[in-house]
Amino acid sequence: MPTEVGDLVVAAKAGDRAAFDELVKATYAQTYTLALRLTHDEEDARDVVQEAYLRAFKGLKKFREDAQFTTWLYRITANCAATHLGKGNRHRHEDIDDQSQLFDERPEVDPEASADASLLRDRVSTALSHLPPRLRAVVVLRDIYDLPHEEIARELGITEAAAKVRLHRARKQLRERLFPLRGEEQAHAV
Amino acid sequence: MQCDEIAELLPGIVDGGEIADRRIQRHVESCLRCQAELVQYRKLLKALHLLRTEVLEPAPGLLTEILAGLEAAGERRAMRSLLNGRNAAYAGGTAAALAAGAVGVAFLAHRRRLSLAS
């Protein structure tokens, strides 16, 4: 049984089911991380991950090995999350207007003063969770997973121009929340 | 250009995704507010990049669920392929029988023509 992802992909493409199971074991935590970042709901993230692996399993023959398997899997996961959130009713409350203000319940904190990477990660994760899902998806895929605009647009079913507009809005809202300029702090310290 | 106009462009300029033309560059070079805002956007990108290496703890039982789902999908696929194989075998058998029949008819017709000729 091969152990490297590349070898496992080759074996799985040749019909080796055990190799595909090994691929799942090697990548499911990362896939779950992305799904959770996109959905911000554990139950939804589980559904998205399951669906993503089923689609990957069915579409594995189409995977071209010049790309990274994980990047391909991330694209599938993003697509599944977009579909899942699109048809979900439980998330209507999250579907607020892109321009709405984010409310920071906590006292003002200077991220530089905290100087703690894990604390900063927590703050970024919290700020991401306050974004509307469609803005969150774009900024997560672009700035954390480094997917190009073109692929993000394709997987989310939007135009490239729309993807860029959403990215701008997401970055602006995150910047105002996490790194406010003088005068912006009060607007978010509601 | 005004700061408000520049502020709308900074989220795209910060990672080089969009090109800042000379007018924008000149404004930012001479405007402390826009410089400060650009710096904050750079900090934001660095903070987001921190999440690149973070892997969250998967929900318990998730791996088992995924593998079980794949197993079920694999069985469905195998069943479909078996049925397709049977259908193909049936179609092949029918085609072979028809072909044999046609050859037989042609042979008999040929013999009949020969006997009539003699």
The domain segmentation of chain B, as residue ranges, is 3-53
Residue-wise pLDDT tens digits, A155-175: 999 999 999 999 999 999 999
Q: How many CA atoms lie within 13 A of A117 on its CB side?
A: 8
pLDDT confidence of A18, banded at 50, 70, 90? very high
Which pLDDT score, from 0 to 100, does residue A89 have?
44
Which pLDDT score, from 0 to 100, does residue A92 have?
42
In total, the C-beta contacts within 8 angstroms joining chain A to chain B are 110
Q: From B61, which residue of chain A is nearest by alpha-carbon distance?
A: A46
Which pLDDT score, from 0 to 100, does residue A79 have?
95
pLDDT confidence of A111, banded at 50, 70, 90? low
The answer to whether residues A52 and A35 touch, using CB atoms and an 8 Å cutoff, is yes
Contacts of B57 in chain A (CB under 8 A): 29
Q: From B40, which residue of chain A is nearest by alpha-carbon distance?
A: A179
What structural domains and CATH numbers belong to chain A?
Answer: 1-93 (1.10.1740.10), 104-190 (1.10.10.10)
**What single-letter DSSP state applies at residue A142?**
I
CB contact under 8 Å between A29 and B51, yes or no, is no
CB atoms within 10 A of CB B8: 11
Q: Which of A28, A164, A169 sits opposite B63 (nearest CB)?
A: A28
Q: By three-state DSSP, how is residue B52 classified?
A: helix
pTM of this structure: 0.75
Residue-wise pLDDT tens digits, A116-151: 788 899 999 999 999 999 999 999 999 999 999 999
Contacts of A47 in chain B (CB under 8 A): none
Q: In the numeric block, which tokens belong to residue A173?
A: 């809202």
Q: Roughly what angle, to the nearest 10 degrees, separates helices A69-87 and A42-59?
A: 130
Q: What mean pLDDT value characterizes chain A?
A: 84
Q: Dihedral (C-alpha) B29, B32, B33, B35: value to the nearest 10 degrees?
A: 50
Residue-wise pLDDT tens digits, B20-36: 888 999 999 999 999 99
pLDDT confidence of A86, banded at 50, 70, 90? confident
CB contact under 8 Å between B70 and A33, yes or no, is no
Residue of B70, B71, B80 best to disrupt the A interface, most CBs of A under 10 A: B70
**Alpha carbons A91 and A137: distance in angstroms, whole number:** 14
Which pLDDT score, from 0 to 100, does residue A187 have?
59
**Alpha carbons A173 and A129: distance in angstroms, whole number:** 12
% of chain A at pLDDT higher than 70 = 81
Which pLDDT score, from 0 to 100, does residue A93 have?
40
Residue of A167, A168, A176 best to disrupt the B interface, most CBs of B under 10 A: A168
CB contact under 8 Å between B40 and A42, yes or no, is no
Q: In the numeric block, which tokens belong to residue A165?
A: 């507009």
Which pLDDT score, from 0 to 100, does residue A100 have?
41
The answer to whether residues B49 and A120 touch, using CB atoms and an 8 Å cutoff, is no
CB contact under 8 Å between B51 and A20, yes or no, is no
Largest separation between any pair of C-alpha atoms in chain B: 114
Residue of A23, A47, A172, A188 best to disrupt the B interface, most CBs of B under 10 A: A172
Q: Which residues of chain B carry a pLDDT beneath 70? A: 78, 82, 85-86, 88
Burial of A160 (0-12, 13-18, 19+ CB in 10 A): middle
Contacts of B65 in chain A (CB under 8 A): 46, 50
Give exposure, B74-103, as e/b (b: 16+ Cβ within 10 Å). Answer: eeeeeeeeeeeeeeeeeeeeeeeeeeeeee
**Alpha carbons A148 and A142: distance in angstroms, whole number:** 7
Which pLDDT score, from 0 to 100, does residue B16 have?
86
pLDDT confidence of A95, banded at 50, 70, 90? very low
For residue B11, what are the contacts with CB-CB under 8 A and spacing of at least 6?
A167, A168, A169, A171, A172, A175, B41
Q: Would you say residue A52 has pLDDT above 60?
A: yes
> In angstroms, what separates the C-alpha of B25 from chain A's closest C-alpha?
19
